[in-house]
């Protein structure tokens, strides 16, 4: 209905314009010929040479400035209006408001490019009657002609800068909102795509700022009304053009901001309710359709206007629409996302949660919802270049082996359909918690539960699953340039791709400030033992394998020098004090031998707390869901960095070859000690997990007994 109503209104306006438009010719002071285009809403003076229906844009702007300057000079002299001789009939000049004289300074040569763009919609260098009528029809209610010209000269740039800052705030707020939503909502929010545009700042005077604020408020109210009609869903690039008239630059940023603001509100709502996995697919498609309209506009300008005029599109886009499309047409000029966010602190959007569950298109997730909602494909982009993957949710059972599918079908036959549907929905929720939106580059399988991304690889997107990360590089199914000695980011919560890039940038810069970089030997990097895996050596020293965790709650703040010094002190403990340090959660000592500068530690992790005090965690405690001692550490909101102790450039345990400075007996002894410690640690972890399972089984037996009315079974009845 929105499309039909909008098109009907446009037709009615066109009929009115056609009926009320008159073209008059006149002569002012016998020097120049003028043509008045009188529409039903506004009247504007246009200059045409030799009775043509179009005129060069530069001539038009110059004559327009001269005309209004002449009119204001007449008002100051209080002289009678000059006699107008019309070749058709007498035509009255448009009225001039003395209060609008401040607008005249924005009709100067300094704003010719902006003034040209508002009339010259197709950027062909000519202004036609049709384009002038389109401009006058689009003037917001309550604005005079001069105010409209002043707004679209520098005022539009003021508004663009306003929306640029607000869009950046919304993007930052989305990052923080994503960390606080329910676990089952994290993946669908991480898949949500966003974009931003870069604009230069604009200084403005008080009158211009008030004018821009007024125009912005009127335009936003109109756009909100239209977006509410379509439930903030723009289904195609053609539909996007219906939200304004003329060139899309006039309403692109306001629509983009309002749409993204609504998406942020849905993300905030996801903190308390479970969304249907496809809820944000429509929002993602809306953003994609807006960007498709942008792409079409850029191609039209480049191909049909700029090249046709013999100008270089790349150079022209640097200033057209205040450079709005510059990065779009020349993506190689786009600054690094992490560096850009570091240099610009836009803050957060303070929008309150103004919506409830009725604003959701698909409603809340239900365990008995229609299977079609669960079976719709979800697009996932793999981390390897040129590859993509389309999967379906577990309800369609495309993620299990064929034998398991057959067994699942046979078991389902004996159950009521409602139970099958309920358990399928529960499986969908469980998969939404565990599944990441990328593939492992070592095995090309979907990553679940724990996600590793290399910090040191040149390829920003080298990802590893938990199983492949624990294997020697030589055992990876698909070879790559990745080295086992390189540092890794570790995530337990799915993050948007751009967010992962920012985190990687911060991690690289953080490590580079406290750890010296050296190049390891190729044979040590690529050669691994085929026996039980020992902790990997470092890229610089190949002497220790440990990790760091940084808090996501504080956003992307730059890690300060105090934190680096503190972490460097911990990493250098073995070399300086020949001592060991303990896990701050369980108190276990990290292995260290006095006879060598650095011995391979147990895999350990360090988190940076709010008071910049590093906390060491052993490999067993690092992946706990609940922490009793290290309460500042959040198992999912904090990202981990597996780092290496950069103390000594030796590679004990890194290679199968005998070490040059260590006899064979000592080397084997060290390996035996390390292997024994690892086996003991794993047995302890297995015992802990087994005890937890026994407790759960006991609770389940008691619950079943209570439901069936039977006496509770004793704890001794549950044996292992």
Separation of alpha carbons 272 and 189, rounded Å:
14
pLDDT over 90 (residue 255): yes
Average of per-residue pLDDT across 521-546: 38
In a domain? residue 465: no
Q: Is residue 680 part of a domain?
A: no
314 plus 387 within the same structural domain:
no
Could you tell me if 578 and 620 lie in one domain? yes
- Burial profile 320-330: b = 16 or more Cβ within 10 angstroms, e = fewer: bbbbbbbbbbe
Query: Per mean pLDDT, which range of 95-99, 191-195, 702-706 is the poorest?
Result: 191-195
Reported as a single tens digit per residue, the pLDDT across 549-561 is 444 444 444 444 4
- If asked whether residues 298 and 161 sit together in one domain, one would say yes
pLDDT of residue 540: 33
Residue 520 lies in a domain: yes
Tell me the mean pLDDT in the region 398-409: 66
Q: Is the pLDDT of residue 375 over 80?
A: no
For residue 477, being part of any structural domain is answered with no
pLDDT of residue 256: 92
Q: What does the CA dihedral 280, 284, 286, 291 come to, rounded to 10 degrees?
A: 170
Report if residue 524 sits inside a domain.
yes
Give residue-wise pLDDT tens across range 438-454. 789 999 888 888 888 88
- For the beta carbon of residue 275, count every other beta carbon within 10 angstroms: 24
Domain that holds residue 401: 366-435
Q: Are 488 and 625 in the same domain?
A: yes
Q: How far apart are CA 195 and CA 179, in angstroms?
A: 19
DSSP letter at 93? P
Asked whether residue 244 falls in the same domain as residue 267, the answer is: yes
Domain boundary among the residues 79, 110, 137 is at 137
Query: Does pLDDT of 615 surpass 50?
Result: yes
Query: Across residues 686-697, what is the average pLDDT?
Result: 77
pLDDT of residue 567 exceeding 80, the answer is no
- Residue 110 shares a structural domain with residue 183: no
Give domain status of residue 38, yes or no: yes
Helices (H), 230-278: 237-240, 252-269
Q: What is the pLDDT of the chain when averaged over all its residues?
A: 68
In this prediction, residues 99-117 reach a mean pLDDT of 83
Residue 247 pLDDT > 80:
yes
The whole-model pTM stands at: 0.58
- For the chain, what is the domain count? 5
Residue with the larger pLDDT of the pair 335 and 545:
335
* Residue range 533-556: mean pLDDT, rounded: 40
Q: Averaging pLDDT over each range in 282-296, 579-593, 632-646, which range is the top one?
A: 282-296
- Whether residues 381 and 256 share a domain: the answer is no
List pLDDT tens digits, range 309-360.
788 888 888 888 878 888 888 888 877 766 776 667 777 776 666 777 777 8
Mark whether 634 and 590 lie in a shared domain. Answer: yes
DSSP state of 606: E
The three-state DSSP-derived secondary structure of 312-369 is CHHHHCCCHHHHCCHHHHCHHHCCCHHHHHHHCCCCCCCCCCCCCHHHCCCCECCCCC
676 located within any domain: no
Note whether 119 and 178 are same-domain residues.
no
In a domain, residue 507? The reply is: yes
Same structural domain for residues 130 and 156?
Answer: no
């Amino acid at each position: 209905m929105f499309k039909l109503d909008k098109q009907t209104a446009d037709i009615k306006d066109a009929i009115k314009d056609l009926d009320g438009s008159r073209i008059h010719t006149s002569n002012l002071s016998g020097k120049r010929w003028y043509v008045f285009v009188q529409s039903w809403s506004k009247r504007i003076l246009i200059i045409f040479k030799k009775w043509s229906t179009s005129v060069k844009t530069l001539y038009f702007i110059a004559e327009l400035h001269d005309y209004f300057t002449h009119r204001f000079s007449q008002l100051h002299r209080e002289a009678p209006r000059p006699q107008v001789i019309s070749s058709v009939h007498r035509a009255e000049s448009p009225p001039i408001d003395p209060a609008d004289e401040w607008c005249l300074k924005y009709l100067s040569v300094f704003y010719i490019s902006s003034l040209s763009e508002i009339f010259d919609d197709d950027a062909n260098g000519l202004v036609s009657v049709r384009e002038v009528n389109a401009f006058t029809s689009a003037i917001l209610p309550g604005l005079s002609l001069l105010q409209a010209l002043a707004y679209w000269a520098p005022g539009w740039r003021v508004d663009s800068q306003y929306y640029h800052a607000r869009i950046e705030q919304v993007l930052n707020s989305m990052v923080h909102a994503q960390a606080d939503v329910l676990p089952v909502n994290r993946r669908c929010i991480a898949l949500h795509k966003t974009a931003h545009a870069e604009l230069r700042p604009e200084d403005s005077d008080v009158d211009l700022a008030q004018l821009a604020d007024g125009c912005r408020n009127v335009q936003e109210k109109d756009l909100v009304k239209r977006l509410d009609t379509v439930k903030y869903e723009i289904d195609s690039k053609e539909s996007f053009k219906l939200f304004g008239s003329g060139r899309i630059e006039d309403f692109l940023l306001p629509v983009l901001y309002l749409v993204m603001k609504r998406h942020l509100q849905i993300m905030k709502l996801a903190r308390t309710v479970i969304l249907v996995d496809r809820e944000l697919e429509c929002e993602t498609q809306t953003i994609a359709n807006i960007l498709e309209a942008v792409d079409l506009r850029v191609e039209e300008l480049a191909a049909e206007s700029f090249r046709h005029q013999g100008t270089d599109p790349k150079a022209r886009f640097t200033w057209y629409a205040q450079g709005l499309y510059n990065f779009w047409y020349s993506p190689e000029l786009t600054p690094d996302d992490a560096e850009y966010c570091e240099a610009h602190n836009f803050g957060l959007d303070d929008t309150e949660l103004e919506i409830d569950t009725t604003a959701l298109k698909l409603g809340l997730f239900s365990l008995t919802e229609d299977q079609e909602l669960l079976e719709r494909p979800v697009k996932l982009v793999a981390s390897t270049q040129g590859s993509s993957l389309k999967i379906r949710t577990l309800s369609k059972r495309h993620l299990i082996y064929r034998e398991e599918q057959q067994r699942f079908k046979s078991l389902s036959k004996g159950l009521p359909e409602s139970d099958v549907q309920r358990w399928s929905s529960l499986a969908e929720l469980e998969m939404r918690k565990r599944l990441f939106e990328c593939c492992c580059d070592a095995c090309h399988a979907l990553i679940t539960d724990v996600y590793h991304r290399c910090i040191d690889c040149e390829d920003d997107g080298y990802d590893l699953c938990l199983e492949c990360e624990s294997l020697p590089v030589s055992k990876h199914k698909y070879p790559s340039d990745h080295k086992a000695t390189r540092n890794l980011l570790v995530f337990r919560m799915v993050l948007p791709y751009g967010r992962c890039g920012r985190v990687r940038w911060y991690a690289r810069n953080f490590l580079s400030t406290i750890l010296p970089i050296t190049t390891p030997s190729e044979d040590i990097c690529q050669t691994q033992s085929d026996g039980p895996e020992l902790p990997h050596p470092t890229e610089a020293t190949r002497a220790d394998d440990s990790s760091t965790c940084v808090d996501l709650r504080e956003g992307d703040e730059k890690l300060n020098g105090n934190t680096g010094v503190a972490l460097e002190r911990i990493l250098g403990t073995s070399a300086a004090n020949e001592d060991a340090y303990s896990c701050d959660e369980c108190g276990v000592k990290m292995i260290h031998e006095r006879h060598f500068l650095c011995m391979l530690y147990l895999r350990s992790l360090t988190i940076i707390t709010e008071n910049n005090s590093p906390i060491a965690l052993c490999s067993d405690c690092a992946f706990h869901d609940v922490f009793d001692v290290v309460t500042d550490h959040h198992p999912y909101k904090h990202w981990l960095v597996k780092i290496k102790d950069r103390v000594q450039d030796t590679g004990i345990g890194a290679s199968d070859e005998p070490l040059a400075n260590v006899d064979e007996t000592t080397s084997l002894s060290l390996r035996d000690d390390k292997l024994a410690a690892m086996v003991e640690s794993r047995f302890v972890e297995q015992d802990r997990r087994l005890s937890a399972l026994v407790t759960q089984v006991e609770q389940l037996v008691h619950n079943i007994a209570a439901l069936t009315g039977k006496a509770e079974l004793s704890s001794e009845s549950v044996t292992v």
